Amino acid sequence: MLRIVIAAWLAGSLCLAASIGPAGAETVLKIKNTGDIKQLDALFTSAYPVRDMAYLIYDTLFSLDGNYRAQPQMVESHTLSEDGKTYVFKLRQGLSFHDGKPVTAADCIASIERWMKKDSLGAEIDKRLDAIRAIDATAFEVRLKEPFARLIDGFARMTAYPLFVMPERLARTPATTELKEFVGSGPFKLLPDEWVPGVKFVVAKHGGYKPRGEAPSGLAGGKTAGVDRIERIQFSDDLSAVNALLAGEIDYVAEVPAEMLPVLEKDKSIQVAKAPILGKNFQVVINHTQPPMDNVKVRQALQYAISQSDSMQAVFGGRKDLYQLCPALFMCGSPYETDVGSERFMKQDFEKAKALLKEAGYDGTPIVYLHPMDAKVQRDVGTVMVNAMRKAGFTVEDVQMDTATMFTRRTNKNPPKQGGWNVFITGFAGDALMDPLTNPYVTGACEKAFVGWPCDKPLQELWQTFLLASDDAARKAIAVEMQARSNEIVTYIPLGQFNDLSAWRKSVSGFVPGPTLTYWNVRKSD
């Protein structure tokens, strides 16, 4: 392995140096993360690469701390009327956008209104909204028709769609229209002239940012730009990224393939550890709107076709310490963990899958599988999936592409022959999956649901009941019902739970443990 790494580095170092360029006198943090950034509107995609970079550029009214409690971020103070219907929010002084203009109440109101049109919890707030108005330049009021205790939780939302605050002129862009300009008030600002999709994404320190006084905690507290620039470098493969890290050409690799760990662990200048975020889960996402996956028996056959063990081994090999087989849709180890209804996907059985396909009248219609090849997880687990589906009796059209193309194509609701799809694999972190309110697969909300668009009235009713539940015991009981119903109609299939391993040079420090890969407070020494 070491000989392979050295040879590959020698072959590619000149090309890499040309793409990264000199850092000059600035402090530059160079990182490799999964996927590419081709657009930056976090209401237009739930892709983690977009969200994580957007958190550097935009700020939020409230943020989740390390214990997943909502804390004020842009908000200095807030009050709630005795009847529980009227909130008044006062912004911190000195907040400014990257274009130099001050953040105002009007900017916040427009950002909230755009967000409510897309996010599921935002939509619940919108249903109960009586009025939202500016009191003055730095204060605004939200008046509800009825009390709704989840409002601040919504403003602190990080999955699927965070409430990022932007200038009113941009926030007035309809939620159905992708933003073309990205101006925030966060600790870093986008350098659009240096952003080259497929090559590099660059942000620079926002000198006008005023961090909060509290210590950083999760996504909350003081956000300090510890470096002048962050360059997110795109690599053609994982090996090239590891080579660059070993050579000192980049500083951080977010996800290291298990087979490369022995080389990195021998290098005394490299730190290898679990990524400073919650565990993750792979998921099989199914398009409920297109044949043949619109047939519940076909979807149940797919449950029998998968193997969590094979999927995890494809990524982590023999390193069983890095993953676990998990029957819980709301994550193992979470308050809502249960194994109810998991029998079909916890024990692979090709014969039962074939029997269900026969019962469904499956006629061999090809299953269009979206298969990204530029990320190890998507590539290798996808290969396992395609082979298993074929063994179970499915005809599979294996459509290979890059990750960014998959994120774009998965929103296409047309039939597969017209650019649509049937199945793909993705991954959400535990922060999203552990809570029925944020788990994107269990709303049953039809056209408003996450891609795949599961449509189920009983699931919608359960989601609403959970939303309004008043105590933890009631929420747990409803969550168990939600998992049972979700598994019955097969909204999605979990493929196992794991923790990414990250690697970084020991000259880098300051990572804040939390629900996302954020890079504020990170510093780089000589």
Asked if pLDDT for residue 1 goes beyond 60, the answer is: no
Asked if pLDDT for residue 19 goes beyond 50, the answer is: no
Can you tell me the distance from the alpha carbon of 329 to that of 347, in angstroms, rounded to the nearest whole number?
Answer: 16
Residue showing tokens 């709301």? 330
Q: In this predicted model, what pLDDT tens digit does every residue of 150-188 receive, in sequence order?
A: 899 899 998 779 999 999 999 999 999 999 999 999 999
Residue showing tokens 């081709």? 38
Q: In this predicted model, what pLDDT tens digit does every residue of 237-270 receive, in sequence order?
A: 889 999 999 999 999 999 888 888 889 999 999 9
Q: What is the DSSP letter of 215?
A: P
Burial class (CB in 10 A: 0-12, 13-18, 19+), 361: exposed
Grade residue 430 by pLDDT with cuts at 50, 70 and 90.
confident
pLDDT for the residue numbered 169: 98
**Bigger pLDDT: 255 vs 95:** 95
344-353, 466-475, 505-514: which range is least confident on average?
466-475
Can you tell me the distance from the alpha carbon of 8 to that of 5, in angstroms, rounded to the nearest whole number?
Answer: 5
pLDDT for the residue numbered 499: 81
Token pair listed for 487: 């598994």
**Bigger pLDDT: 376 vs 24:** 376
Token pair listed for 467: 């939303």
Token pair listed for 455: 């449509």
> Residue 248's CB: how many other CB atoms inside 10 A?
12
Asked if pLDDT for residue 101 goes beyond 80, the answer is: yes
Query: Whole-number mean pLDDT of the chain?
Result: 91
Burial class (CB in 10 A: 0-12, 13-18, 19+), 472: exposed
Whole-number Cα distances in Å, 269 to 20, 288, 509: 21, 49, 13
Grade residue 15 by pLDDT with cuts at 50, 70 and 90.
very low
CATH code of the domain made up of 280-498: 3.10.105.10
The CATH topology of domain 48-171 is Dipeptide-binding Protein; domain 1 (3.90.76)
Mean pLDDT of the region 336-357: 97
pLDDT for the residue numbered 492: 97
Sign of CA dihedral 310, 315, 320, 326: negative
38-47, 129-138, 140-149: which range is least confident on average?
38-47
pLDDT for the residue numbered 190: 98
Grade residue 376 by pLDDT with cuts at 50, 70 and 90.
confident
pLDDT for the residue numbered 25: 61
Token pair listed for 410: 């998965």
Residue showing tokens 């022959």? 417
**Bigger pLDDT: 512 vs 59:** 59
Burial class (CB in 10 A: 0-12, 13-18, 19+), 364: exposed
pLDDT for the residue numbered 276: 58
pLDDT for the residue numbered 26: 86
pLDDT for the residue numbered 142: 98
- CATH of 2-35+188-277+500-524, picked from 3.40.190.10, 3.90.700.10, 3.40.50.2000, 3.10.129.10, is 3.40.190.10
pLDDT for the residue numbered 513: 83
Mean pLDDT of the region 291-300: 98
Mean pLDDT of the region 357-363: 98
Q: Where are the domains of the chain?
A: 2-35+188-277+500-524, 48-171, 280-498
Mean pLDDT of the region 404-418: 94
Asked if pLDDT for residue 23 goes beyond 70, the answer is: no
Residues 520 and 212 sit within 8 Å (Cβ to Cβ):
no
Grade residue 278 by pLDDT with cuts at 50, 70 and 90.
low
Beta strand ranges found along 167-291 (DSSP E):
188-190, 200-205, 229-233, 252-253, 270-274, 280-286
